Amino acid sequence: RGIPVGPGRGSAAGSVVAYCLGITQLDPLKYDLLFERFLNEERISLPDIDVDFCMERRGQVIDYVRRKYGEDRVAQIAAFGFLKARAVVKDVGRALGRSFSETNAITKLMPPEKTIEKALEKSPPLEQKARSEAWVGEILDVAKKLQGMPRHASVHAAGVVIGASNLKEIVPLMRDKRGGRAVTQLDKDDVEKIGLVKFDILGLDTLTVIDHTLNLIQRITGKRIEISQIPFDDPKTWELLQHGDTTGVFQLESRGMKDLLRRMRPTNILELIALIALYRPGPMNVIKDYLANRANPDSIHYDHPLLEQHLKETYGVMVYQEQVMMAAREVAGFSLARADILRKAMSKKQQYPELIAKLKREFIEGAKKKGVSRALAERIFGKMSEFLGYGFNKSHSTAYGILSYYTAYLKANYPLQYMAALLTRAMGNEAKLKAQIADCKEMGIEILPPDVNKSDWAFTVEGDKIRFGLGGIKNLGISAANSLISTREKEGEFSSFYHFLKSVDLNKINRRAIESLIKAGAFDSLDTNRAQLIHWLPRAMEWAQRMKQAQKSGMSSLFGPSNEVELPQLEPVAPWDKKTRLDHEKEVLGFYLYDHPGCILRADKADDRHR
């Protein structure tokens, strides 16, 4: 069906069987990933395989699952919003007839605590108000009973359950308000407790962007690139990454990540994978050790020679959870299954203090048998415990590191197609669209204005430029844009504004949509006086409607069916000044595309100085 699927996600990328079956697309042996991180004989819960699909076509995957297993055996999973301390006080206050300002006066005194009891402990003014004003005490007493209860139900972003029989016999169901589909009344944790298997069918925008890019490349060059076959030693890609030119590159867009790329200057896929694992709040403090060791490998110190083979790849620094598991095996003789138990316990040390104490004794005893002193074993165990507070899953980092490389490769080698695809996915998100257009300008890519004769719904490539898509214009829905494009494909390009009005279906493309097209400059190739087109539009639309009626009834005018002689006599209108023109552009695009009022102001000041 051609639906793009991600190379892998989470610990499932460590399974050779998943790779051989085509569930994942990266070889776990090549990247030294651990199967036991995914599944082992001591694991009690079912293994979880999360799969990323193209965001646009995720719905088709869920529909396929319903058809394959039966509508009565498939349901999406509910998610619940719960009444938190401040929200429940506001809700109770409203229910008891108190005004917004009265309840707001209470919540302003509440620190950001999870419970009302904690808020009262931390805020003496709140406690004083509750004691001195009976109505405040009443609200807080009722709110205490309701806090933590479900407030509303929604649909989980990814979760789907598949039953062996009709789900009505297994789990209570409800209907999704938007689509009427079956949704469980239990959340993701509870459906697993009653024995149902949860599947995470996730939508990932990056896969959609990659697919759009490959389609544009094929349309222009005639060749289809197989993204999984691209080389990992492409010089242009590594140059782009080393310079931090990664706006629009998966996982590498933030300012901090760009800075780290410039400092690290990665040269291979393993370093890129490590970079993604390192750039998170927990391991930030080890980044400097990683960079220092990488710059000077002779300075690397391993606590024990047994650790070298597993830490060499990351220059002596623990970066991945799997490295802790291997350290437990090499230093203390743990099985990888037992090492995974240790990993889980250490990552939630507050919950499992007794288990950690037991595992620590096992670790020290096992290390002693391998000739490691107690003091050194305790030091290594301490470092492992500290690291696992923030350690990252190597399987997941590898899968997403490869996706990052794919997007960097496309941006470096096919910048026009990649940026056009990014801009298309950003439609509807003004901030993102503005940032991507700014990046295009930095790359020297010109954005051509929207044009009723040239633009598609999406952003497209024209020569060495990108054409603004109709989907980026406010008040112009996809059905109106598709109607415009369909008319143009049937009848050819529009020769004038009036030819446009006479040709298109004005029931689908209404006055508001046409006004937005004018303000965005989409008619500039036919008439640059936008003020005049806006002024003439009501009477011009009336004329177009009369022409359509005449054609329907078989009437013909003296001068032919569409001759512009029949147009009403319309008075000329002065064009908008530059600022008004820009303001209207911003109104319908969400930002200033080609100029900025500040530039006009600077130019005016410069003129004043010259005078």
How far apart CA 174 and CA 185 sit, in angstroms, is: 6
Q: Which pLDDT score is estimated for 33?
A: 92
Q: Which pLDDT score is estimated for 514?
A: 96
How far apart CA 192 and CA 190 sit, in angstroms, is: 5
Rounded to an integer, the average pLDDT of 137-146 is 92
Q: What is the pLDDT of residues 13-53, one digit of tens each?
A: 999 999 999 999 999 999 999 888 888 877 777 777 888 99
SS3 79: strand
Cα–chain-centroid distance for residue 257? 17
What is the amino acid identity at position 314?
T
360 φ/ψ angles, rounded to the nearest 5 degrees: -65, -40
Q: How many residues does the chain have?
A: 611
How far apart CA 153 and CA 597 sit, in angstroms, is: 46
Res. 447: pLDDT tops 80: yes
pLDDT band at 565 (very low <50, low <70, confident <90, very high): very low
Q: What is the pLDDT of residues 408-425, one digit of tens each?
A: 999 999 999 999 999 999
Q: Which pLDDT score is estimated for 179?
A: 74
Res. 299: pLDDT tops 60: yes
Q: Which pLDDT score is estimated for 192?
A: 86
Q: What is the pLDDT of residues 460-486, one digit of tens each?
A: 999 999 999 999 999 999 999 999 999
Res. 359: pLDDT tops 70: yes
Distances 338 to 328, 330, 365, 378 between C-alpha atoms, Å: 9, 13, 14, 18
Q: Which pLDDT score is estimated for 181?
A: 86
How far apart CA 465 and CA 419 sit, in angstroms, is: 10
- Give kind and range of the element (H or E) at residue 298: none
Higher pLDDT, 280 or 313: 313
What is the amino acid identity at position 575?
P
Q: Which pLDDT score is estimated for 558?
A: 45
72 φ/ψ angles, rounded to the nearest 5 degrees: -80, -10
Q: Which pLDDT score is estimated for 566?
A: 59
Q: How far apart are the first and last CA of the chain?
A: 68
Rounded to an integer, the average pLDDT of 256-271 is 95
Q: Which pLDDT score is estimated for 158?
A: 85
Distances 359 to 113, 343, 356, 362, 372 between C-alpha atoms, Å: 34, 10, 5, 5, 16
183 contacts: CB under 8 Å, gap ≥ 6: 75, 76, 77, 78, 153, 155, 173, 174, 175, 176
Q: Which pLDDT score is estimated for 260?
A: 94
Among 39-53, 252-266, 350-364, where is mean pLDDT lowest? 39-53
How far apart CA 163 and CA 174 sit, in angstroms, is: 16
Alpha helices in 415-529 (DSSP H): 415-426, 430-442, 478-491, 497-503, 511-519
Tokens 């002779």 locate to: 298
pLDDT band at 559 (very low <50, low <70, confident <90, very high): very low
pLDDT band at 250 (very low <50, low <70, confident <90, very high): very high
Q: Which pLDDT score is estimated for 458?
A: 95
What is the amino acid identity at position 381?
F
Res. 65: pLDDT tops 90: yes
535 contacts: CB under 8 Å, gap ≥ 6: 570, 573
Q: Which pLDDT score is estimated for 113?
A: 82
Q: Which domains does the chain have, with CATH numbers?
A: 84-148 (1.10.10.1600), 281-391 (no CATH), 414-597 (no CATH)
Res. 157: pLDDT tops 90: no
Cα–chain-centroid distance for residue 135? 45
Q: Which pLDDT score is estimated for 600?
A: 54
The angle subtended at Cα 252 by Cα 397 and Cα 207, nearest 5°, is: 70
Are the C-beta atoms of 411 and 240 separated by less than 8 Å? yes
Burial class (CB in 10 A: 0-12, 13-18, 19+), 459: buried
- Give kind and range of the element (H or E) at residue 261: helix 255-264
Q: Which pLDDT score is estimated for 583?
A: 93
Res. 605: pLDDT tops 80: no
Annotate 350-387 with b (16+ C-beta within 10 A) or e (fewer). eebeebbeebbeebbebbeeeebeeeebeebbeebbeb
| CB hemisphere CA count around 572 (13 angstroms) | 5
How far apart CA 281 and CA 199 sit, in angstroms, is: 29
Higher pLDDT, 571 or 87: 87
Q: Which pLDDT score is estimated for 563?
A: 44
Higher pLDDT, 565 or 142: 142
pLDDT band at 197 (very low <50, low <70, confident <90, very high): confident
Rounded to an integer, the average pLDDT of 530-538 is 92
Residue % of the chain over a pLDDT of 70? 94
What is the amino acid identity at position 479?
S
What tokens does 121 get? 């402990």
Annotate 290-302 with b (16+ C-beta within 10 A) or e (fewer). bbebbeeeeebee
Q: Is the pTM of this model over 0.75?
A: yes
Are the C-beta atoms of 264 and 291 separated by less than 8 Å? yes
Are the C-beta atoms of 343 and 395 separated by less than 8 Å? no
Distances 400 to 203, 205, 517 between C-alpha atoms, Å: 14, 13, 40
Query: What is the pLDDT of the chain when averaged over all its residues?
Result: 89
SS3 440: helix
